[in-house]
Structure 1
Amino acid sequence: MLKHLDFGIIITVILIVLFGSYNIYTCSNKAPQQIRWLILSLVISYVVLLIDYVNIKMYVKIFYWLCMMVLLYTLFFGKTINGATGWIYVGFYIQPAEMAKIALIMMLGVKIEEMEFKVNNIKNLIILGIYCAIPMGLIIKQPDMGMTMVLFFIVVGVAFSAKLNLKVLAAGILAVIIAVVGVWNSGHFIKPYQKGRIIAFLDPESYALGDGYQLLQSMTGVGSGGFFGKILTGEKRDNGGYVASNVPEPQTDFIFAVTTENFGTFGAIILLSLYGFLIYRMIAIAKIAKDGFGMIVASGLATYFTFAILQNGGMAIGIMPITGITFPLLSYGGSSLLTTVVAIALVLNIGMRRKKIVF
């Protein structure tokens, strides 16, 4: 099986995390913690690679419901950070929604395989919808609209991979859009600061001293990097750089702005090329997976990466609204890094064991 292990993915993941850690170092004191989380993630990933993913699949339902219970617990006993009650303390703070994201992908893989990919059957579609609605509802209640968006686009990607009728898929997306409009005008679920971020995204200059402040400072920092960035050209950076000095918590939501300030458009191109290779290899593994579960998991994770990169990178340059979505592998965050790296290890596991055993 070792010859089927995709070392390209492993090297790419490590390069991105180390590059991200350097950029975290330039704007905060969180880089050592990120390196420790990387080491822990790689150790756990090694264990995941040793176990046949078919055996892991047997415990997916337990993992899913455990994550749902932890999400429910978080609503009542979690810590509120930046307006969302989405963290719990277990010796250190973790964000259960990160685990729920992976649990949902795996659960959809199990259920769709059990249904023999008959996702256009109305009964099966309702069942899958319920499994999707539970984590989304619990995360909306926190409220964490960024993670809710992530789950929604993961579901769309999985549905497309499972060959859901495109008319049904389009109708579902339309229904969600109508629901979002209803929620927007209901006065519930969406907090005033979340509305403010979206309104400010459309016209940040008019809200330069309020909700548009972060966006304008991020765009200024990105532009200041030029093509080669301040680090590559040896330009002096006071207090860690413009983004570090003017954007709150730059090591998380705005790490892409820090990166482009440091390494410019050139660095952004190299970074996005690494992500492009990573997503390409995940899709390749999805195509050769020996079962439906493997295909859905690899497709779901590729969808997550694609959306999260577009959303986080887009909000740093002003083409997407600001949400709490982190840049996978690049942003600071222990629970995010751990769950993402371990999920990639599961995809590697699927690629390693792609051959069916024939007696």
Structure 2
Amino acid sequence: MLKKIKINKKLLKQLDFITILTVIILGIFGSINIYSATHLNCGNYYLKSQLIGIAAGMVIIYLVLIPDYAIVKRYANIIYSFGVFLLILNCLPMFKSTVNGASSWIKIGPVSMQPSEFAKVGIIIMLAKELDDMEGNINNLKNFMKLTAYAALPMILIVTQPDMGMMMVCFFIVLGIYIVAGLDFKIIGGGLAILTGLICIVWNSPIMQTYWKTRLLSFLDPDADPLGAGFQLSQSKLAIGSGGILGKGFLKGSLTTGGFIPEAHTDFIFSVIGEEWGLIGALFALMLYAIIIYRLIKIAKNSKDIFGTIVSVGLIATMLFSILQNIGMTIGIMPITGITLPFLSYGRSSMLTAFMSIGIVLNIGMRRKKISF
């Protein structure tokens, strides 16, 4: 029984420990900043919760590494269907929970979760399975339509919440997979044109309520409503700018500790880093992300099959876009959405899926070649 829950020593030699170490450092750095943003009002609660989440995340990575990732392909339909099921469950009033205007959470008893976090992983795994079965022939019309249908179903359910931030993440996941899979750029261009039209339709439909539009567009001119929709961004830019090169010091950020930045421990954790650690702290976080992304790309390139490559690409696209979007919105160059910063922001669902995603890619890298027993 014990053998079934252990990783073979020969496989462990292929494991990318640098990525694991970098993730741990990033998680600890995030925990420190979460504590700074919350300690005055909540004491050690969020710090302890985040550290427990990191410990649980390491257990998840270990458990994900045990089976051959080919098993994931075998259960791709179940994983994908479960993600869609959770999104449908999210439509039922008795489970729906609204946070910041988006009904993107489900609550069952004391447990809350964000179904779209798991659904996006299901999209990646399903597209990877289908592309592997198609031997990468994405430019066949039938194959392309099949892939697009699988991607579109959960994305439509996410839009109806509405959770435009997660919709953007899913879109760039699919786009990244299509590009790497070799989809004709004429089709990509046509798809983008159709998508633009659909966005215009959704934007002017009852789905997009006025306050949500205002929140998304506030980054264009935050001073137009400095005490309303533009308040969060204005305070974020002020905090990051006031940090200078070296920052004000740990627990010394007046805007952070004063509670002037809403959601500072989740969506706007980068503002805390900018104020208290300055440019040096921001570059340190970006350096850690660069190491992780670089090493995951190497795994994607060296995968032994199409399934492994596409899964890796999808998960890399998820992380890369989340980093660009989150940091971009805190400095005012991207619209404000509810996208968290991987491993730095507080959030159970996002933390769980981030560690799970890293574990899956490391599994692919660990089994990139046959091991002789």
Using structure 2 for the length normalisation, give the TM-score: 0.91
Cα drift, residue 198 of structure 1: 2.9
How many angstroms apart in 1 are the aligned matches of 2:252 and 2:15?
43
Distance (Å, rounded) in 2 between the aligned partners of 1:339 and 1:171: 32
Larger mean Cα displacement after TM superposition, 243-252 or 156-165: 243-252
Provide the rounded CA distance (Å) in 2 between the counterparts of 1:95 and 1:243. 28
| 1:348 aligned residue (362, 367, 373) | 362
Q: How many residues align?
A: 354
Residue of structure 2 equivalent to 1:200: 218
Displaced runs of 4 or more, over 6 A: none
Residue 231 of structure 1 deviates from its aligned partner by: 1.2
2:305 aligned with 1:286: no
Secondary structure at 1:87's aligned position in 2?
A: strand
Structure-1 residue corresponding to 2:169: 150
How far does the alpha carbon of each residue in 1:183-226 deviate from its partner, in whole angstroms, 9 at most, with x for none? 222x3221212210233211111121221111111100111111
CA distance in 2, matches of 1:191, 1:182: 13
Shift of residue 92, structure 1, vs aligned partner = 2.3
Asked if 1:225 is matched to 2:239, the reply is no
Code of the residue aligned with 1:331 in structure 2: it is S
- Alignment pair present for 1:79 and 2:93: no
User: Following the alignment from structure 1 to structure 2, what is the Cα–Cα distance between the partners of residues 15 and 236?
Assistant: 22
Alignment correspondent of 2:201: 182
Give TM-score, length-normalised by structure 1.
0.95
Q: Could you tell me which residue of structure 2 aligns to residue 125 of structure 1?
A: 144
Question: How far 1:357 moved relative to its partner?
Answer: 6.9
Which runs of no fewer than 5 residues in structure 1 stay unpaired?
A: none
Segment of structure 1 superposing worse, 336-345 or 167-176: 167-176
Q: Structure 2: any 5+ residue segments left out of the alignment? A: 1-10
Structure 1 residues 41-79: Cα deviation after superposition (integer angstroms, max 9, x where no partner): 211211111111112221111011011111100111221
Paired residues of 2:253 and 2:272 also in contact (CA < 8 A): no
Percent identity over the alignment is: 47
For the residue of structure 2 that corresponds to 1:328, the secondary structure is: coil
Correspondences of 1:213-292 after superposition (within 5 Å): 213-231=231-249, 236-238=252-254, 241-242=255-256, 245-292=259-306
Q: Secondary structure at the match of 1:355?
A: coil
- Determine the C-alpha separation between the residues in 2 that align with 1:199 and 1:80: 21
Question: Using the alignment, how far apart are the partners of 2:202 and 2:112 within structure 1?
Answer: 30
Partner of 2:183: 164
Quote the RMSD (CA, aligned, Å).
Answer: 1.7
Flag the 1:93–1:252 CA change in 2: closer, same or farther, 3 A: same
Aligned partner of 1:339 in structure 2 is 353
Instruction: Give the structure 1 partner of residue 24 of structure 2.
Output: 14
Question: 1:170, 1:231 → 2: CA distance?
Answer: 47
Separation in 2, partners of 1:169, 1:243:
46
- Contact 2:36 2:257 (C-alpha < 8 Å) held by counterparts: no
Q: Tell me the SS of whatever aligns to 2:259.
A: helix
Partner of 2:54: 38
